[in-house]
Structure 1
């Protein structure tokens, strides 16, 4: 009796090792290029582009400043007129504009909200300095919504991208390995989302000093963000298996993360990419946390609805996957 010999699959035998090595190297190189583009290109191409900007003050000075502004930063700002500096400040606090200029015969005052984005406030201040030089007007800076003194650069909120993605991906794996019951898995994810929101808010408030009086709003926003990541991933896993979870997790890590714009806000990212990032859970969660932390929730409704939509979609996917598994088990039993 002869023992059958083991041979390589036909596809491998037909392709020389050198060709396989070259093909795999090229594929991995393409993936590396894609990752570099996803993580670096958005930041490299970021900047002011049609940012809503308010302007108020003496009509003659306003006209002069508008002309100088377009020369100093063409296409960077979409200017909206306000009747007074107070109305302009209200609009900044409501997040309908990112900042503004108040022009008068004796000087130019730039109104910013560093809590909204230090990148935008810094860029607007630099632009105002250029406008002041062009119009021979002295420039003063007024920070309408400043960051806390303990975190003047906004690093606390700006660094939430990775904790958000971690909080959405890892618990799905952990609770699936711990519980066989779908009910307990989802209960675990909901519990962790609430606990994670409180933990993050506590660290930001009591350790980093990144927030002052908005502990519970930030905790709620962060919990909603974690749930909007975790529950859809659990739904994908239940509906499509490990493949669905892997695709979803990779999308959040390699697409949602770099396009979130949490440190600078989505408005600072290239046009289109920033909008896409705000439709994904990391970007929407970052926007909602910032609104809750510094603007009393102003401008956060869209982000809250986006996150809620992701949670609902996750539950629907989970229900579809559970029903499909039940039918499959019934067929096997019969």
Structure 2
């Protein structure tokens, strides 16, 4: 029968869950929805070709339309601007001449940024055309009273032509980069599941657990690559380097999770899930670009394994590994910290606490005297011990007393 105290505790737990679970769900939705709702260029690196008056006008126009949105890099010619895009120094560039404007973009770097630069190019061309028309009209108005050629001067100048060149294209099988961005969330979840499986396999020694992490991370990365590239064609270049990038990403996440479990027990699994899934994924910028997210979100996301891993895989799959050193360093740092926690941590998951105790008892009692089984076996007194025990002596004393009384 349930006591009133136990019933009160049950209702208290239900009340706590009724408040805590909606709060957690709300925070999770906020973590994903808020960065997506604040997408805008913030110090987005773009190139400007040349230092002519037209180029300077383009810089002024972009700075006026998006204050603080662009970080301009000057290039002497179009070839150097294309090289800057391939090396991931800039997301794109504007080549401005008196009669035309060419937008150099890269859908492989970010389809969202490529679309943004295309719209910016159209706005620049419209603004430049309007400014040229205003200047021509002013000049014509000043000369029309003195020359019959004023009508010719009043002719509207030709509209600036706008062209777009995709320097580094995304895969033809994944033109919008949907497959690439969609693979990140399950990759993170599966990495945490690897750590969970190893945390439940507590018969493994720390070194064996480390080897298992390496093998399982490589195998999981191979499976992801087979699906993403073999079936869907979303990772078209540098196959070995791309697989290694996936493996390092999986390893960094799973090693960090396993280390957290080794240090603080099952609570480490929840902490890692929150950090990697509900912070790392939405803050990674994989669906848009890190520079389109709020500044603090960008900084946090690129210092977490999901963000660094997404940037690294994009670099190896499309840009020959350019600008990958920083991302490799972040993933390596998380991996080393996780491995150190796995090797030196001693906390066990409560899910498998029983097997640990049984395993330890078995290991301690094998081949030794005075084992736990021997201690637990009840002692049966011998016949000699029983004859001299206080209980037997007391029984005999009472028997002699009754015999004397009867006599």
When the two structures are superposed, what TM-score results if normalisation uses the length of structure 1? 0.89
Q: Partners of 2:15 and 2:269 in 1: how far apart? A: 30
- Which residue does the alignment assign to 1:69? 62
Q: Per-residue CA shift, 1:30-80, capped at 9, x if unaligned?
A: 323312210100110012111011101360211222222223323221112
Unaligned runs of 5+ in 1: none
Q: Per-residue CA shift, 1:222-274, capped at 9, x if unaligned?
A: 00000000011111111211112221222212111211222223222111101
Q: CA deviation at 1:9?
A: 5.4
Pair 1:107–1:35, CA change in 2 (3 A) = same
Aligned match of 2:296 in 272, 277, 282? 272
Aligned match of 1:31 in 24, 29, 46? 24
Q: Partners of 2:270 and 2:26 in 1: how far apart? A: 20
Q: Per the alignment, in what secondary structure is the counterpart of residue 224 of structure 1?
A: helix
Q: Partners of 2:104 and 2:175 in 1: how far apart? A: 17
Q: Partners of 1:99 and 1:241 in 2: how far apart? A: 47
Q: CA deviation at 1:203?
A: 2.0
Aligned match of 2:174 in 151, 165, 168? 151
Q: CA deviation at 1:23?
A: 6.0
Pair 1:187–1:158, CA change in 2 (3 A) = same
Q: CA deviation at 1:24?
A: 4.8
- Which residue does the alignment assign to 2:147? none
Equivalence map 1:198-213=2 (5 Å): 198-213=222-237
Q: Per-residue CA shift, 1:10-30, capped at 9, x if unaligned?
A: 9749xxx6x987665444333
Mean CA deviation greater in 34-43 or 265-274: 265-274
Q: Partners of 1:241 and 1:94 in 2: how far apart? A: 43
The answer on 1:82 being equivalent to 2:79 is: no
Q: Partners of 1:168 and 1:249 in 2: how far apart? A: 10
Please say if residues 94 and 104 of structure 2, whose CA atoms lie closer than 8 Å, have aligned partners that are also in contact. yes
Q: Which has the larger radius of gyration?
A: 2
Q: CA deviation at 1:185?
A: 2.6
Q: Per-residue CA shift, 1:150-171, capped at 9, x if unaligned?
A: 1111122211221221231111
Q: CA deviation at 1:306?
A: 0.3
The answer on 1:196 being equivalent to 2:220 is: yes
Q: Partners of 1:196 and 1:62 in 2: how far apart? A: 49
The answer on 1:233 being equivalent to 2:260 is: no
Q: Partners of 1:206 and 1:10 in 2: how far apart? A: 57
Aligned match of 2:164 in 119, 122, 141? 141
Unaligned runs of 5+ in 2: 130-159, 350-359, 365-407
Please say if residues 161 and 260 of structure 1, whose CA atoms lie closer than 8 Å, have aligned partners that are also in contact. no
Mean CA deviation greater in 57-66 or 224-233: 57-66
Q: Partners of 1:10 and 1:21 in 2: how far apart? A: 11
- Which residue does the alignment assign to 2:185? 162
Equivalence map 1:210-225=2 (5 Å): 210-225=234-249
Equivalence map 1:1-334=2 (5 Å): 6-8=3-5, 12=9, 24-57=17-50, 59-136=52-129, 137-178=160-201, 180-182=203-205, 183-322=207-346
Pair 1:214–1:270, CA change in 2 (3 A) = same
Mean CA deviation greater in 122-131 or 171-180: 171-180
Q: Per the alignment, in what secondary structure is the counterpart of residue 295 of structure 2?
A: coil
- The CA RMSD over aligned residues, in Å, is 2.6
When the two structures are superposed, what TM-score results if normalisation uses the length of structure 2? 0.73
Mean CA deviation greater in 281-290 or 29-38: 29-38
Q: Per the alignment, in what secondary structure is the counterpart of residue 5 of structure 2?
A: coil
